[in-house]
Amino acid sequence: MSRPVAVVTGASGGIGEATARRLAAEGFEVVLGARRLERVQAIAAEIDGRALPLDVTDPASVAAFAAEIPACEVLVNNAGGALGTDPVLGADEDGWRWMYEANVLGVVRVTKALVDRLEASGDGRIVVIGSIAGFEIYPGGGGYIAAKHAVSAVAKTLRLELLGRPIRVTELQPGMVETDFSKVRFGGDEARAAEVYRGMTPLVADDVADVVAFAVTRPAHVDLDQIVLRPRDQVTARDVHRAD
Interacting residues toward ligand NAP by CB under 6 A = 9-10, 12-16, 34-36, 39, 54-57, 78-81, 102-103, 129, 131, 174, 176-177, 179-181, 184, 205
* Rounded least distance, CB 209 to ligand NAP, Å: 10
Note if 138 is an active site residue.
Answer: no
CA distance 140 to 120: 43
* Rounded least distance, CB 2 to ligand NAP, Å: 26
Identify the H or E element spanning 221. Answer: none
How does 163-202 read in b/e, with b if 16+ C-beta sit within 10 Å? eeeebbbbbbbbbbbbbebbbebbeeeeeebeebbeebeb
Smaller CB separation from ligand NAP, 79 or 115: 79
CA distance 74 to 144: 26
* Rounded least distance, CB 66 to ligand NAP, Å: 13
Residue 185 and residue 83 in contact, taking contact as beta carbons nearer than 8 Å: yes
Smaller CB separation from ligand NAP, 91 or 204: 204
Smaller CB separation from ligand NAP, 131 or 170: 131
* Rounded least distance, CB 82 to ligand NAP, Å: 6
Residue 63 and residue 41 in contact, taking contact as beta carbons nearer than 8 Å: no
Which residue's Cβ lies closest to ligand NAP? 14
Tell me the catalytic residues.
Answer: 144
